[in-house]
Structure formats: structure tokens, C-alpha cells
Amino acid sequence: MHNADNDSLLNTPRRFLHGLMAEMPIATALLSINIVAFIVITALGTNVLGGRIEDYLRFGANFAPLTTDRAWWRLASSTLVHIGVLHLACNMWALWDCGRISERVFGGDLLLALYLYSAACAGCATLWWNTQAISTGASGAIFGLYGALLAHMTLRRCAIPVDIMNRMRISSGVFVTYSLFTGFAHAGVDNAAHLGGLAGGYAMGLVMSLPQRHANGLPRAVWAALLAALTLPAAALLAPESARIYRQAVTLEKESAAYSSEEARLSAEFQSIVEQTRNRKLNDADALRLLRTRILPAWNQAVERLANIEIDAKAPLRKDYDLLLRYATARRDLTKAIADYLETSEPAHEKLIARLRNDVERTRLEYQQRQKQ
């Protein structure tokens, strides 16, 4: 492992450049793994220029409801998922640029630890910032490498030759500025991950750059492990709980589709009864019997199925659920009122039918408007 205290060659430009041209196994491996992962994901059906969100979730993108539901591995796997070849190319250029310097400065073992720690910090920042964001790509981890190099240069100003620093300052400035700008300009880019990775990398870089005499006799790797052991579990525990609400949303979407299908079936069957009654193929007694024995029981089951859905009171979809249940209940009650009118011919039922029709239409329009938002 590289020792920054005893290595006096780092500040020699010729030696440093020679080191950069030598083999950098960890930086090369990280680059290769990202490229191979992209090829595999593309070969499995994802568009090379950018595919569907569902595909990236399937391959391990970071999404709070899934990650916090005992899938913490997504903090690492998401770094291998890139949305299109341009996304990959930009990140791999930056990774190769700062990865070689980081491996020369910190050594291969610490580079790998730094990369993974920064990726985890970036992913946790996304979980905190926006539970609905879907985070992909290695940029958060790469920001961490830049943060670590910045921390190293803060503590050891002469550790990296000036011409290397100037070149890296330009390349890192371009990458960081472009990434942050696109993040603020485009909703799909995750700046929380960028900033989280940068902060995590800077903190880890400070630990890895401590002079050995200031580390109380412990190797810097031990201090780095302690930092990760303290911060990452705490970050996970503090992440907002979103898995439960997400599962409820998935259930509501599934049950809403099932209700829509059943509503269409019952509406068609009800309309068939009405048409047969008008054409005198059914008398009122037979129509009433069909309503009582076939239509109303099915409506009761549909409403009961919706009523059994569990949605938290403060869940974002609670209003949608309440409207859907109210609409289904009004549809069921309207059918019952029609059946009661056929049986009794009381004027009160006519008024009830008119009121329920208004309720059904008003609730339907309100629900549709919410779905468009």
C-alpha cells in the first residue's frame, strides 16, 4: 500500500508522471467493470442511448423505496448503471482522469475503499434529498475521488506536482461544473448524489491524508474503516422511510387497474339489462332480479376490495385513494337506488338517483383531474 509519509517521490514531477504511466490496476479495474456492466445491460435489451426507468431499476439503480427495503446493495450497484453511452463516456473520462492520480496518491486498496465509500455517501444523500429520485451512474463516486484529492492537497500542498495539479484543476473543474450545472438545469440529474459523494470523499480524504504521527499509532486504513463504520449505518438509519408508502402505491395502482376492469364489465352488463328492458326482452321483475343477484353483489365485492387497501393517512396518494373509493361507493349506491326504484317506484328513489348521479360525475371528474397532475 502506498505510504504518503515516506514517499518523497510524489512531489517530483518526473517520478509522478512515470507513476501515472505505470500500471494502475484498481483504476483500470473500476473503468473496465463499468464498461462491461454497460455492455451487459445493453445486451439484455436496454437502449444504448437510454432506456426505460423500469430497466434501470431492474439492474440495480438506487431508488429509496427499494433501497431502504433491505436492498442496500443498490448503493453500490447503481454506480454500474449508466443511462446511455454519453452518460457512461463522460463518467469514464473523469474516472480515468482522477482515478489514476488517486491510486498514485492513496494506493490501490485505499482507492477502492474511497470509491465505494463515496458511492455509498452519494446514494445516501439521494435517499435523504428525494425519496422519489432514481439515481444511476458513477458520478457520485467520482465526485468523492475529487473531494479526496482536494482534501489531500489541503493537508499536503506539495504532495502533487504543480503541473499535475493545474491539469487536474482544469479537468476536474470542467467535470464538476458540467455535472452540477446539468443537475440544476435538468430534473433527471441527481445533484444530491454529486454533493454527497464530494462531501464523503473529502472527509475520507482527510483521514487518508493524515500524517502517520497524528494517527495515534493506528494505520490510516483503520481510521478510514472507523469513519465508514460510524457514518454509513447512521446515514442508513436516518434515511426517510419510504418502502412502506411505495408498496402501498404499487398495491393501489394494481387494485385501481382491477377496479377499472371490473367497473367496465359491470357497466356493460348493466347497460345490457337496460337495453333488453327497453326492447321488452326483459320485464321489470327479471331486470330487478338480475340487478339484485348479479350486479349488486359484484359491486359490493369491488367496493369492499378497495376499502381493504391500506393507505397511510399522510401518504401522497391518500387523496387519490379516497376519491376512488368514494367514486366506487357512489357507483354501487346508484345501482342499488335504481334497483330500489324498480321495486317500489317511490318518488324518493328518483331524487336519490339524481343526487347519486351528480355525485358520481363530480367525483369522477375530480379523480381524473388529480390523475393529470
CATH number at residue 47: 1.20.1540.10
Out of 193, 211, 238, a domain closes at: 238
In this prediction, the residues of the chain whose per-residue pLDDT falls under 70 are 1-23, 157-172, 180-190, 212-218, 373
Domain assignment present for 91 = yes
Predicted pLDDT of residue 41: 92
Domain assignment present for 7 = no
The H or E element that residue 290 is part of is: helix 284-290
Q: For residue 149, what are the contacts with CB-CB under 8 A and spacing of at least 6? A: 98, 101, 102, 105, 160, 168, 172, 205
Predicted pLDDT of residue 9: 41
SS3 for 16-57 is HHHHHHCCCHHHHHHHHHHHHHHHHHHHCCCCCCCCCHHHHH
Beta strands in the chain, from DSSP E residues, in sequence order: 62-63, 134-135
Domain assignment present for 225 = yes
Beta bridge partners of 62: 135
Same domain, 277 and 358: yes
**Number of structural domains found in the chain:** 2
Same domain, 290 and 154: no
Predicted pLDDT of residue 97: 84
- Kindly give the interhelix angle for 191-208 and 162-185, rounded to the nearest 10 degrees: 150
- Enclosing domain of residue 302: 243-372
Domain assignment present for 6 = no
Q: For residue 131, what are the contacts with CB-CB under 8 A and spacing of at least 6? A: 64, 65, 240, 242
The whole-angstrom distance between residue 306's C-alpha and the CA centroid of its chain comes to 27
